[in-house]
Amino acid sequence: MNDSSPSRRPSRSGGRAARHAMRAAPLTEDMRPIRAGMTGGTYKPLSEAEVLKIHEAALTALETIGLADAPASGVEILTGAGAILGDDGRIRFPRALVEDMLAKACKDLTLHGRDPRHDLDLSGQRVHYGTAGAAVNIVDVAGNNYRESTLQDLHDAARITDTLDNVHFLQRPMVARDISDNLEMDLNTIYACCSGTTKHVGTSISDPSHAADCLQMAYAIAGGEAKYRERPFISMSNCFVVPPMKFATESCEAMEICIKGGMPVLLLSAGMSGATAPSTIAGAITQACAECLAGIVYVNAISPGYPAIFGTWPFGLDLRTGAMTVGSGEQALLSAGCAQMHAFYGIPGGAAGGASDSKMPDMQAGWEAMCSNVMAGLAGCNMIYEAAGMHASLLGFCHESLILADDLIGQAQRCVRGIEVNDETLALDQIAEVCMGGPGHYLGTDRTLSHMERDCVYPALGNRMSPKEWAENDRPDLIEQTIAKKEQILATRSAARFDPALDAEIRARFNIHLPA
């Protein structure tokens, strides 16, 4: 704003209470300081020369080492596209084939929500944060303990996610261990997630024989196959490789079925640095890129331009003990480096960020989650998975941490947004007004008040009281407040619940374990 007059805003009326009420009202989209899909990419841990070296090394690995254990259908698909099956059973990929398939690959992917307000634009380096994982435990914060996760826990995570502005999608974060039949677990996972949120849902399919039924449930929720294909609001998280450099035979078969059924796929390579991937950061990124490039060839040989996410998820490892180190600085660098490779290839990509090795939502969990969430976001990662709620090196999920992540990711997104420098933000006219005949400070000025909601992200639960004010307010405890927030959310019926007629139809076709 270049206007130097004292004020262009209408005079304020109604006093302090009116101004507080105005600030408490929901912000319009254009006024929000942060939102899903802001563009990152300002942080580049790799130089241009280093990016090219990793790319060249990945191409060499594909051409000379290749991948083993492709299913018979995959061998036919890949060799038909120009890959070479060696006498050792490994499939090798000529450079020209990889480059041709990269040229055909989907570049501008939108992941749909059941509600179009939650559609995710993955073009360029637009950044989104969400859940993911296969935790087998739920964190019992009140009891300082862990217990096996259930379908109800998963549904509750979906319901909580639906209320959080800064958690943009729900990929299944935990396993329903109270369902022993794997087909019923896959189907109930879809039901529990989709009946809990209208945001985009990612799920896994544990066996290729389950894929057809999972697609049928997706079609039913959408109101028909054609409607689902038009706006596929469920994607498949597919561990199509078993690092190092082997295809996961059954996962590949399930992927083929889902591609024919119109379900977007996440091509997930999750090597463990020092165990199933090289111990060096550059080596782990190289192998992940090679494996995911093989996936790009696979998918585009089936259906050119098919919606697929380049899911490089290399994880760190504590080489002293063999424990995962998802909360380490090395993990943050792995994910940020992968995001830079996604941008180099020009295709939608995802990596892990925000998970913690800590067992509870404590200070360790905070620093670990913030480190990788900020770095992956600044690097421009399209999809940052496991960004909320994940503990114990991916073994535990925490509803309270999911809620706290809304504040944490909000601050990370503010870092992604960065610093705008223009005539208005340089504020020379404001400095002149304040310093020459003005009040000598900026508190309460029209410009400060007009920018306070647009420029700053305010925590919902984070406490900024002075010690005196904190004591006068009975020393509010962050975790206790978060537990109360969880109970408040779960006391309200899910806004995403299915129409009763649709719910009855689904329950007639599938054995749904959640109560109606």
Mean pLDDT in each 10-residue stretch from start to end of the chain (516 residues)?
37 52 66 93 98 98 98 98 98 98 97 98 98 98 97 98 98 98 98 98 97 98 98 98 98 98 98 97 98 98 98 95 95 98 98 98 98 98 98 98 98 97 94 94 90 92 96 97 98 95 98 96
For the chain, the structural domain boundaries read 102-417
Looking at residue 11, what is its pLDDT? 40
**Distance from the Cα of residue 155 to its chain's centroid:** 18
Task: Give the Cα separation of 510 and 410 in Å (integer).
Answer: 38
Task: Give the Cα separation of 439 and 443 in Å (integer).
Answer: 9
Looking at residue 26, what is its pLDDT? 67
Task: Report CA Rg, the chain.
Answer: 24
- How many other CB atoms are there within 10 angstroms of residue 103's CB atom? 11
Task: Give the Cα separation of 66 and 83 in Å (integer).
Answer: 10
Pairing mode, if any, of strands 120-121 and 110-111?
antiparallel
Task: Give the Cα separation of 236 and 307 in Å (integer).
Answer: 11
Yes or no: say if 376 and 336 are a contact pair by the CB < 8 Å rule: yes
Q: Is 272 helix (H, G, I), strand (E, B) or coil?
A: strand
The residue type of 312 is T
Contacts of 211 (CB under 8 A, 6+ apart): 205, 254, 257, 258, 261
Reading the block at residue 171, the tokens are 């990929």
* Complete edge-to-edge strand list for the sheet that includes strand 383-385: 38-39, 126-129, 383-385, 349-352, 308-312, 265-269, 234-238, 200-203, 169-171
Q: Which residue has the tokens 């009140």?
A: 142
Pairing mode, if any, of strands 200-203 and 234-238?
parallel
Contacts of 438 (CB under 8 A, 6+ apart): none
* Own/partner pairs, 278-281, CB within 8 angstroms, 24+ separation: 279/317, 279/319, 281/330, 281/333, 281/334, 281/337
Reading the block at residue 415, the tokens are 């870092």
Task: Give the Cα separation of 170 and 408 in Å (integer).
Answer: 17
Per-residue b or e along 385-409, where b marks 16 or more CB atoms closer than 10 Å to that residue's CB? bbbbbbbbbbbbbbbbbbbbbbbbb
CA nearest to 42, candidates 379, 363, 310: 379
Contacts of 101 (CB under 8 A, 6+ apart): 81, 296, 297, 300, 301
CA nearest to 331, candidates 376, 293, 296: 376
Reading the block at residue 3, the tokens are 């206007």
Looking at residue 447, what is its pLDDT? 86
Length of the chain measured in residues: 516
Contacts of 430 (CB under 8 A, 6+ apart): 442, 445, 447
Task: Give the Cα separation of 247 and 238 in Å (integer).
Answer: 11
One of 3.40.190.150, 3.40.50.720, 3.20.20.480, 3.40.50.1110 is the CATH number of 102-417, namely 3.20.20.480
Reading the block at residue 275, the tokens are 């165990």
Task: Please report how the helices 48-64 and 95-104 are oriented relative to each other, as an axis angle in degrees rounded to 10.
Answer: 120
The residue type of 51 is V
CA nearest to 36, candidates 110, 142, 135: 110
Q: Is 269 helix (H, G, I), strand (E, B) or coil?
A: strand
Task: Give the Cα separation of 362 and 514 in Å (integer).
Answer: 32
Pairing mode, if any, of strands 383-385 and 317-318?
unpaired
Contacts of 492 (CB under 8 A, 6+ apart): none
Task: Give the Cα separation of 295 and 265 in Å (integer).
Answer: 10
pTM here is 0.94
CA nearest to 154, candidates 126, 133, 183: 133
Looking at residue 17, what is its pLDDT? 62
Task: Give the Cα separation of 94 and 110 in Å (integer).
Answer: 30
Q: Is 266 helix (H, G, I), strand (E, B) or coil?
A: strand
